[in-house]
Amino acid sequence: MYTFVKLGGSVITDKAGQEAADLPLIGRLAAELADARSASPTLRLIIGHGSGSFGHLYAARYGVHRGISPGGDYHGFALTAAAALRLNRIVVDALIAAGLPALSLQPSASLRSRSGQILAWETSPIAEALARGLLPVIHGDVSFDETQGSAIVSTEALLAHLALATDLRPARIILVGEDAVYTADPRVEPNAQRVPLITSANLPAVLHGAGGSHAVDVTGGMRSKLELMWRLVQAIPTLEVYLVGPAPGTLRAALLGHALDSGTIIRRE
């Protein structure tokens, strides 16, 4: 069984800026990944990350996520892909500097979609990399789309595809982004309460209180992420999904299965 980790674009960049990577934070998260793998050598990881103020900026500007007709101008498509790769290089270099054998695997090189949903993706290089002890690193990316010409496929959608359509079945998915899921937007409602556990019993109420993103995001906000993760938990009954923030030590603790006093866990009960 594998552990999938997504480093959120809103965490590793300033999404209100332009190509504004948080280099110290990326370095610290990379160090926590390396420390957890050292403490638990059997930990098998697949890393994904969002595009934050890199890819999302260009995707929104050129409407790549809404679709570009076959005869349209695909310059924005290329700019979006290039920006995503620039952030990917930063993340991969930080992982390598931390001592991890990180290998960048660009999804758009073989990704195809239909109406924004994954139609085909050649994932065998990810399995090959894992078999050789490497750490595959993927990212949200552009896709040629069968019905709308172009699309953006989120990191969560890519990880979901790996979980459901390949043999790389995860036991745990860790999404590093918001500190937790709350009963309402804590930026607006000061009395919002953290939701430590999401199951079928409280899912409808949680979804009702979940809002969108607070900066440019062409892949949807918190509600869409929760809905996708819940579908995964339903399909893989043993799966646990952790939504945690980037506070020091939190990612390491989640990776090693330690008890957390923050964040939100989604599981089937």
Q: What is the mean pLDDT of each run of 10 residues along the chain (269 residues)?
A: 95 88 97 98 96 88 89 94 97 98 98 97 98 97 96 96 96 94 84 91 85 49 86 95 96 94 91
What pTM did the predictor assign? 0.92
Burial class (CB in 10 A: 0-12, 13-18, 19+), 70: exposed
Residues 81, 183: Cα–Cα separation, whole Å:
35
Domain count across the chain = 1
Helices (H), the chain: 9-12, 23-39, 52-62, 75-97, 124-131, 155-165, 203-209, 222-235, 250-255
CATH value at residue 231: 3.40.1160.10
Residues 25, 9: Cα–Cα separation, whole Å:
12
Q: Residue 41's pLDDT is what? A: 94
Residues 181, 227: Cα–Cα separation, whole Å:
13
β-pairing verdict for 141-145 and 181-182: unpaired
Which residue, 192, 175, 28, is CA-closest to 95?
Answer: 28
180: containing domain: 2-267
Q: Residue 220's pLDDT is what? A: 55
